[in-house]
């Protein structure tokens, strides 16, 4: 049986993940965040095995939001080996998010 060590930090996760990491910066009080959340969940399901998806609550993790200069939410970012490949702000449609994410996935393979 193989055990995998969980990352100790957000930085470790986005730097050492075997998969590209899609990050949804959000907050509970944010209406547009609630609108885009089902889209993020759908994309996570559809890209299982190709993409790791995480949510960062900016109220609970303000130091992470500050480090990545998150000024508006939702902000959706795609990382590969610690490098930012994509950043979108606001509630986008499923089709747009899918297109933008997929346009960057070949770079991460």
All domains of the chain, ordered by start, with CATH? 10-101 (3.40.30.10)
The predicted structure's pLDDT at residue 6: 53
Examine the residue annotation and report whether 30 is marked as an active-site residue of this protein: yes
> In terms of C-beta density within 10 A (0-12 exposed, 13-18 middle, 19 or more buried), how is residue 87 classed?
middle
| CA torsion angle 43 6 86 108 (round to 10) | -90
Report which of 21, 37, 35, 26 is spatially closest to residue 86, judged by C-alpha positions.
21
Question: How do the pLDDT tens digits run along the chain, 109 residues long?
Answer: 444 555 688 999 999 999 999 999 999 999 999 999 999 999 999 999 999 999 999 999 999 999 999 999 999 999 999 999 999 999 999 999 999 999 988 665 5
Catalytic-role residue among 33, 51, 86, 97: 33
Distance of CA 96 to the CA centre of its chain: 15
Cα(14)–Cα(26) distance, integer angstroms? 17
Catalytic entry in 14, 30, 36, 78? 30
């Amino acid at each position: 049986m193989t055990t995998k060590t969980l990352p100790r930090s957000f930085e470790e996760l986005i730097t050492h993940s075997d998969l590209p990491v899609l990050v949804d910066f959000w907050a509970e009080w944010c209406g547009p965040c609630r609108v885009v959340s089902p889209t993020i969940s759908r994309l996570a399901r559809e890209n299982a095995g190709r993409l790791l998806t995480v949510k960062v609550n900016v109220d609970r993790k303000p130091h992470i939001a500050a480090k990545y200069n998150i000024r508006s939410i939702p902000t959706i970012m795609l990382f590969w080996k610690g490098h930012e490949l994509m950043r979108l702000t606001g509630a986008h449609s499923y089709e747009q998010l899918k297109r933008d994410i997929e346009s960057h996935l070949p770079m991460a393979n």
